[in-house]
Homo-oligomer: A and B are copies of this chain.
Amino acid sequence: MKSKRAVTYAEAGVDIDANARWVDSIKAAMVSTFDTRVCNRHGSFAGLFSLDYSETLFRRNYRHPVLIGCTDGVGTKVLLGIQAKRVRDLGIDLVAMSVNDLITCGGEPLFFLDYLAVHKLAPAALAEIIEGVADGCRQAGCALLGGETAEMPDMYAKGHFDLAGFAVGVVEARRRVDPDRVTPGDILIGLPSSGPHSNGYSLIRRLVGRRKLTRPLRGTGQSLADALLAPTRIYVSAVRRVLGHYRVKRVVTAMAHITGGGLPENVGRILPPKCNAVIEVRRWTPPPVFDWLQSQGVDRDEMFRVFNMGIGYVFAVRPTFARAVHRLLHRAGESPIVLGRIKRGRGQVELR
């Protein structure tokens, strides 16, 4: 039997008061993402977001709103960020992973929530992460409605943390982008990625091994850390620009976020059974970081299977509108690339 000395919760490794201070410190970051639709009340158990459909604007756009829910994490890119002491942009990655999924069905992001599990609360580092999350939310035009920070010293190693994100959006049922409409002849247009985004980091970390992350990446003026920790691009504004332009015509037949694997897997997800996608890989040059990764002993097929290879998001577009969509994307500040096209087939992606 152990001694009868009073045990307090703080002694067991969790400090409720420190937690309360931390909650206050993230409020400013959250508020920076709010608009009038957020109706949170301090201290409440839940985040509240008005759909505003008593307003004329919402009513005009939404007759039959369908809610969209997405969740994702950042994977082991977190460990690389910790190693390089660069954690802020992991917050952007977190938002990007969910909202880029969300917009593929044609929806607009409304709000985001984060789950942050840590070894111990280190308010400075955590404030950085939440600033990154709020930055991502502003880029995506959604409110950071709430979040949870869990201190779990026995689950996470010292200095470690994990992140999970959750995005909610809305799409009008009639305007939902549904890959069933993909047809032979459709043109595939890709948007550049900033690097590996948040996928393939178990392999990347193994390839990096014990090399210093500060070492320069040849021909780039960047360090390895710069290239490998570049935040995932958020495609919301570019995609909203295109979809907003065509409010009646259904010009975009499908969209794919290149996530969790490479182009073959993800473009495969938008193919009807009787279509193939032909992607001409010479149409673009992958960023130098992929050359470096390949030079560490990964074969070319595996590179394309695991990594986005420089393309983070793909549109399938009716051929007569391909040039116009390309122009719209340019005007939205993107550098769109015509990757290839849809042809008759059996649901396969052909890299040429």
Contact = CB atoms under 8 A, between A and B. Distances in A.
Given A6-B299, A164-B148, A70 B45 contact: yes
Interface stretch (A101-109, A239-247, A274-282, A329-337): A101-109
A145 B169 CA distance: 13
Contact of A68 (B47, B101, B152, B302): B47
A218 interface: no
Contacts of A265: 16
A206 B14 CA distance: 12
A170 to B, nearest CB: 8
Contacts of A179: 41, 44
Contacts of A39: 66
A41 B104 CA distance: 12
Interface string A97-134: 00001101101001101110100000000000000000
A43 B104 CA distance: 12
A75 interface: yes
Given A43-B269, A76-B152, A206 B12 contact: yes
Interface stretch (A154-162, A187-195, A318-326): A154-162
19 contacts: A4-B297, A7-B203, A8-B302, A16-B265, A44-B105, A45-B102, A46-B104, A46-B105, A47-B68, A47-B70, A50-B173, A51-B67, A71-B114, A71-B148, A73-B148, A117-B162, A117-B164, A151-B202, A168-B168
A31 interface: no
Interface residues of A, number: 94
A54 interface: yes
A49 B66 CA distance: 5
B115 A67 contact: no
A236 to B, nearest CB: 13
Given A7-B296, A12-B203, A72 B155 contact: no
Interface in A126-153: 145-148, 150-153
Q: Which 6 A-B pairs have the closest CB atoms?
A: A115-B164, A166-B166, A45-B101, A12-B203, A164-B164, A45-B104
Interface in A293-352: 296-299, 302, 305-306
Nearest to A143: B69
A207 interface: yes
A33 B73 CA distance: 24
Contacts of A4: 297
A60 interface: no
Contacts of A259: 45
B75 A9 contact: no
B69 A9 contact: no
Interface string A65-102: 11111111101101100000000000000000000011
